[in-house]
Structure formats: C-alpha cells, structure tokens
C-alpha cells in the first residue's frame, strides 16, 4: 500500500522540531505530519496537520514552503495485515515559526510520546542510526533544509 503524507519541518533560528511517534513503524525521531485525506489538497493537509498535531491553528498557506518529496518503506505496518508493510510518499514543507509560535507548540499525545526536541540542524545527524531507512530519509531532509 502506498500512502501520501504531508510532513512539516518546523524550524526556528536554525533548529528543527523532531518528535517520537507513538505508532509503529515510525517510532524513531521524525517530523510532525501524517496522512492526507482523500480529496484534500497538500496545503490543506499541511494546515490540518499543523493544527491537529502541533496546535498551530491559522497558519496561512504562504507559510508552508515546499521542501521536497521523500519516500519511506516499511516491512511491517500498524494496520492488518501487518506483514504487507507500507510505503509512504512524503510531501514535505518547511515552516518558519516565530518565537511565539514555537512556544505554543503542543504535540498531540495520541500521535507522539512526550519526547520531542528542538535540535540544531547540525546536531540532527548525531541522533540518527543510518542503518534505519527512516533515519536515512531524515538525513536527506535535514541536508535539504541546510541547503535552503
């Protein structure tokens, strides 16, 4: 199954917000985001995910700067039949936050555990396990953010 997701790279003063999801298979550090709904535009999905998962309501469409398309594959998935795995195509947006917005971020406890961090882009690679495909994808995203 191939799923289209939007992922949000929230940045502030050279730092990136990373969180640990509560749902398999994305239990390592990752961006805020998730699945698009049928009929939803990518920007509408990005705005919905910002509001639902980070409590950042009312961000205008112009705030979402397209970063790139990334892809992740998993041998297992949360939904039955688990062994069929999943493949996600991730439309990723860079969102520059203000200091007030950064302070307002509250992650959804239904999606993320209490572990989240604002990390300098230069420090992200230190927490990655590049034998893990999702960490390799995150490394590529961080590389693209650093070259923004």
pLDDT per residue as tens digits for the range 23-67:
665 567 899 999 999 999 999 999 999 999 999 999 999 999 999
68: how many CB neighbours lie within 10 A of its CB? 14
Whether the pTM exceeds 0.85: the reply is yes
Task: Give 67-113 pLDDT, tens digit per residue.
Answer: 999 998 775 556 676 666 678 899 999 999 999 999 999 998 887 87
Radius of gyration of the chain (CA): 14
The pair of structure tokens assigned to 52 is 């639902």
CATH of the domain spanning 2-146, picked from 3.40.50.970, 3.90.79.10, 3.40.50.300, 3.30.70.3150: 3.90.79.10
């Amino acid at each position: 199954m191939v799923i289209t997701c939007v992922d949000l790279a929230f940045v502030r003063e050279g730092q990136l917000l990373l969180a640990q999801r509560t749902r398999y298979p994305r239990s390592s550090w990752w961006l805020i985001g998730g699945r698009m709904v049928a009929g939803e535009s990518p920007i509408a999905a990005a705005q919905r995910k910002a509001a639902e998962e980070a409590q950042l309501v009312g961000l205008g469409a112009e705030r979402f700067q397209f970063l790139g398309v990334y892809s992740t594959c998993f041998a297992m998935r949360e939904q039955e039949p688990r062994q069929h795995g999943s493949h996600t195509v991730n439309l990723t947006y860079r969102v520059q936050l203000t200091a007030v917005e950064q302070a307002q971020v509250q992650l959804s406890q239904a999606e993320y555990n209490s572990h989240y961090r604002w990390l300098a882009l230069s420090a992200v690679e230190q927490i990655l396990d590049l034998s893990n495909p999702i960490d390799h994808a995150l490394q590529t995203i961080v590389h693209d953010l650093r070259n923004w």
